[in-house]
Structure 1
Amino acid sequence: MYHQYFGLSEPAFSIAVNPRYLYMSDQHKEALAHLLYGVGGGGFVLLTGEVGTGKTTIIRSLLEQLPENTDIAMVFNPMAEVPEMLEVICDELHVDYDRNRTSVKALTDALYQYLLDNHRRGRNTVLLIDEAQLLSPEALEQIRLLTNLETNTQKLLQIILVGQPELNRLLSQPRLRQLAQRITARFHLNPLTLAETRAYIAHRLQVAGLTGDRNPFPPAIVRKIHKFSGGIPRRINILCERALVGLYGHNKHKVDSSIFRLAKKEVVGSLREPGARRTPPGWVLVLVPALLLIILAAVLWPQSQREPASVPQAPVADIAAEPQVAPEADVAPAVKAYVIQRLPVAQTLLLREFGLPENNAGCWQGRGSDLQCETERLDTWESLTQLNRPVVLTLTTEERFTAYTVLVALAGNRAQVLDESGERIEVPLKELGPQWTGRVVYAWHRPPGYFGPIGEGDRGPAVNWLASQFVTIDGQNSPLTDDRYNRALAERVKIFQRRAGLEVDGILGQKTILRLNEMLGLDPTLQWQEQP
């Protein structure tokens, strides 16, 4: 094992969240202090930061420092509508409510009674919402109203919102100004400086058991790591991990330029170097050709008046990049049966594909803990094909209303979607495409004990699950490991990733799990069914 080669007790740069490795820079200390302030009765507290800056690690550190008299409800994927979100909060706090009466008022009344009882017992109640940028304005407004639950002297519920920078833009909307005014403390996590990057790397090595005089990262290499990673801790971890593996493979003890280039080459598919050349945005690719056509038309217009010419039509964009818009006359009103007006109906139909009964809203109501619900924005039908699982598509109808449909199969230029009764309807992509906003919601079975990417050296139920899946796939007599993610299991994962066309890193992440679930039949796929 490479970490033993360096005398480390465990991998120093695992991307699994571990509060022991939390590097408390001045800004991280301040961020944690803000969260503890919120737990202590500070009202609304807001923590934002780019992906990978350490927000989740700070949350885990907060959980380890919670006062004993604190009850906390944690919402990690807040995509549900208002009633469902209130149910999730009530379920997290074990609030007793009538499951046959799940209106906003009934749920709020039950929550208020619980908070009063908790207050009488001398207990504080905290609501922490991660990925809060996914909340709708309506849900944020309802959360604001929850802070109206109070006694004469104190708020009964303290709320912590954690999210990406988009959350600040969301809260700047005029209709959310009342909520924004109630935020008593806010903090934004910035990327690490060069000095902090140097200290961060040394800190993780020290926690893993390496003394400072044996640090394999010279100052010149640390500068390169900082420049390439942009100071994002998660990116630093990935790059340093690859560099240490490179040292082990080449029997070296100090990272030099050649090892750094090899490590950088391995991760360049998932990390983009600051300042690297980027693909122009889609609007540039559309606008520039359009302007050129206008200029060309202005030049040729006088000639066209003297001598009529036959101008060939511009080619229609590929449907995978931008679905074609069919002429209005070609759209038959009958096919509009697939449009679903209410999101909960579409969610129920989606989870029915997972075998859940209609009265079980799965991961949207905190039930069915093995299911994980995700929201994502995709650009093409091809990306949906690669995802290869039923999804809820968010639509904008011709009347400019938001609606939904459940896509369950794709084949060529056709799709199969569900109507509200669950019957499959075949729809041309050229009709569905102009209505699709790009937003999708999907679900997947999460392995037991899985809360984020795991790799070599990690332990737990998710490792056991992974090893047992390869027993099934390979027809083995025994798993590659008992409970520790060892080199043999990592190499088997790499083989699977290579065959599946995934990034080959030997780490069990969400994309690898999705492909495993697909192969083992654990999740439904976009399977076309011929209609009678």
Structure 2
Amino acid sequence: MYLAHFGLSQLPFGLTPNTGFFFGLIPHVEALQVLQVALEGGEGFIKVTGEVGTGKTLVCRKLLNSLPKQYQSAYLPNPYLTPDELRWALACELGLKCQTGLDQRQLTHWITKRLLALSLGGKQVVLVVDEAQALPDESLEALRLLTNLESEQRKLIQLVLFGQPELDERLQTHQFRQLRQRISFSYCLRPLMWDEVQAYIQHRLAVAGYQGDALFSDKDIKMLTQASRGIPRLINILAHKCLLLCYSQGEAKVLSRHCIAAIADTQDAQLLPESPVTGWGVGVILALLMVTAVATAQTWGYLL
């Protein structure tokens, strides 16, 4: 692709949440600080919400990677589970090797016993649930009941929910009033401002190995910020396409026409009315990718 052209060692704008690219943006740092304070206080329920693409999974992984030794973490990346499946998943995360024939009462007994053992060993158990808006109603209630498990000193398990705004909407309904009252700390990730987008792009390029002058002008950064609505995932998509176009034309820096074409080619981005595409239509990026793929295949065919 364009790695050699820009002197990069890896792709700077991948969509997979990679904590190696974590940057101390204000909303992400604030979310982690809220989580740290809440966990240290032994609170039962903690919630982080944000629009699609604002970096919830990245914050989630950063939290899991930075938990102190006294914490025992359990992680559910796909919570579309029935209450029974949820308990079995938690048991597996806690290292329990239970017989599959156990009924739910027996399984809950073994989970409670394991949580007590960990607590006596000085461990605080944290269950982290990503994409929590996908939890069925019955499973949300099962999570609430888990927080009833406690010793005389503290809760045996703390829960951290990461979810989209739909989770907030569900929790406002009457049926979840008990769970809602148990959420002691919450944080909502906001989109990025243009100067944060600028620092974010420069940071990712630097981590990927870029050492030259700024590839994007302030004007183009502002254009990308407006088009992406400050959402990191969209910023990554647009910046990647900009670099593709820049490379395909042999340019040393990204130009405004590259940004306009990238925006026009991205379905969820908003092309500004005053920015006509002029010769670069939707599908240009796809054509460039196909050319790159053919060139890559030829290279590998030669090497093989």
Shorter-chain-normalised TM-score: which range?
A: 0.7 to 0.9
Distance in 2 between residues matched to 1:85 and 1:60, nearest whole Å: 20
Q: What amino acid does structure 2 have at the position aligned with 1:259?
A: H
After superposition, give the CA deviation of every residue in 1:119-165 in whole Å (9 maximum; x if it has no partner): 11111111111111111222111111111111111111010001100
Alpha-carbon distance in 1 for matches of 2:74, 2:38: 14
Where in structure 1 do 4 or more consecutive aligned residues deviate above 4 Å?
487-492
Give the match for residue 27 of structure 2. 27
Question: Does structure 1 conserve the Cα–Cα contact (< 8 Å) formed by 2:48 and 2:163?
Answer: yes
Task: Kindly provide the CA deviation profile for residues 72-129 of structure 1, in whole angstroms up to 9, marking residues without a partner as x.
Answer: 11111112211111111111212243321232x2222111100001111111111111
SS at match of 1:72: strand
CA contact (8 A) 1:38 1:158 kept: no
Per-residue CA deviation, residues 35-61 of structure 1 (Å, 9 max, x unaligned), is 333443232110001111111111111
Residues 70 and 123 in structure 1, CA contact (< 8 A), matched pair in contact too: yes
Letter in 1 for 2:227: F
Distance 1:187 1:119 in 2: 27
- Asked whether the equivalents of residues 87 and 102 of structure 1 are also in contact (C-alpha less than 8 Å), the reply is no
Q: Can you give the 5+ residue segments of structure 1 that lack an aligned partner in the other structure?
A: 277-486, 493-532
Equivalent in the alignment of 2:279? none
CA distance in 1 between partners of 2:27 and 2:101 (Å): 46
- Aligned AA (1:165): P
SS of equivalent residue, structure 1 residue 215: coil
Q: Identify if the C-alpha distance between structure 1 residues 488 and 256 changes in structure 2 by more than 3 Å, giving closer, same or farther.
A: closer
1:94 aligned partner: 95
**Could you say if the C-alpha distance between residues 274 and 106 of structure 1 is closer, same or farther in structure 2, counting changes exceeding 3 Å?**
farther
> How far has the Cα of 1:488 moved from its partner?
5.2
Q: Distance in 2 between matches of 1:67 and 1:157?
A: 16
Q: Which residue of 1 aligns with 2:270?
A: 273
Separation (CA, whole Å) in 2 of partners of 1:55 and 1:274: 26
Report the equivalent of 1:181.
Answer: 181
- 8 Å contact from structure 2 (residues 45, 183) kept in 1: yes
Q: What is residue 167 of structure 1 aligned with on the other side?
A: 167
AA aligned to 1:152 is E
* Cα distance in 2 for residues equivalent to 1:490 and 1:70: 49
Contact 2:77–2:131 at 8 Å: present in 1 too?
A: yes
Matches within 5 A, 1:404-415: none
8 Å CA contact 1:229, 1:274 repeated in 2: no
Q: What is the rounded CA distance, in whole Å, between the counterparts of 1:241 and 1:250 in structure 2?
A: 15
Q: Post-superposition shift, 1:253?
A: 1.4
CA distance in 1, matches of 2:244, 2:228: 18
RMSD of Structure 2 on Structure 1 (CA): 2.0
Find the aligned partners of 1:490 and 1:18 in 2 and give their Cα distance.
28
Counterpart contact for 1:83–1:102, Cα < 8 Å: no
SS in 2 for 1:53: coil
Q: Give the Cα–Cα distance (whole angstroms) in 1 for the partners of residues 125 and 103 of structure 2.
A: 22
Offset of 1:260 from its aligned partner?
A: 1.9
Which structure shows the higher helix fraction? 2
Q: Distance in 1 between matches of 2:294 and 2:64?
A: 31
1:173-207 superposed Cα distances (whole Å, 9 cap, x missing partner): 11211111111110000111112111111111222
Q: Which residue of 1 is the match for residue 262 of structure 2?
A: 263
Amino acid at match of 1:95: L
Query: Is contact 1:69–1:122 with CA below 8 Å preserved after alignment?
Result: yes
Normalized against structure 2, the TM-score is what?
0.85
Q: 1:273: Cα distance to partner?
A: 1.3
SS of aligned partner of 1:224:
helix
Greater C-alpha radius of gyration: 1
Given that residues 234 and 269 in structure 2 are in contact (C-alpha distance below 8 angstroms), is that contact kept between their aligned partners in structure 1?
A: no
Deviations 1:258-295 (A, max 9, x none): 222332233x23x241789xxxxxxxxxxxxxxxxxxx
Cα distance in 1 for partners of 2:271, 2:64 equals: 34
What's the counterpart of residue 115 of structure 2? 115
Paired with 1:491 and 1:171, the residues of 2 have a C-alpha distance of: 49
Q: Is the Cα contact below 8 Å between 1:48 and 1:189 reproduced in 2?
A: yes
Per-residue CA distance 1:296-319 (angstroms, 9 max, x = gap): xxxxxxxxxxxxxxxxxxxxxxxx
Partner SS state of residue 214, structure 1 = coil
Q: Residue 13 of structure 1 aligns to a residue in which SS?
A: coil
Determine if contact 2:246/2:255 at 8 Å carries over to the other structure.
no
**What does 1:283-294 correspond to in 2, within 5 Å?**
none
Alignment of 1:4-403 (within 5 A): 4-40=4-40, 41-103=42-104, 105-211=105-211, 214-266=213-265, 268-269=266-267, 271-273=268-270
Quote the sequence identity (%): 38
Alpha-carbon distance change, 274 to 251 in structure 1, aligned in 2, over 3 angstroms? closer
Stretches of structure 2 lacking an aligned partner (at least 5 in a row): 274-291, 298-304
Q: Which amino acid aligns with 2:2?
A: Y
For residues 133 and 177 of structure 2, the distance between their equivalents in structure 1, rounded to whole angstroms, comes to: 16
Change (3 A) 1:223 1:173: same
User: Number of matched residues?
Assistant: 278
For normalisation by structure 1, the TM-score amounts to 0.50
Match of 1:420 in 2: none
| Higher relative contact order (Cα pairs below 8 Å, separated by 6+ residues) | 2
Indicate conservation of the 8 Å contact 1:13/1:238, yes or no. yes
Taking the aligned partners of 1:52 and 1:235, their CA distance within structure 2 comes to 7
**36-45 vs 114-123, which moves further:** 36-45
The one-letter code matched in structure 2 to 1:196 is E
Change (3 A) 1:272 1:23: same
Distance 1:274 1:264 in 2: 6
User: 1-side partners of 2:64 and 2:120: how far apart?
Assistant: 23
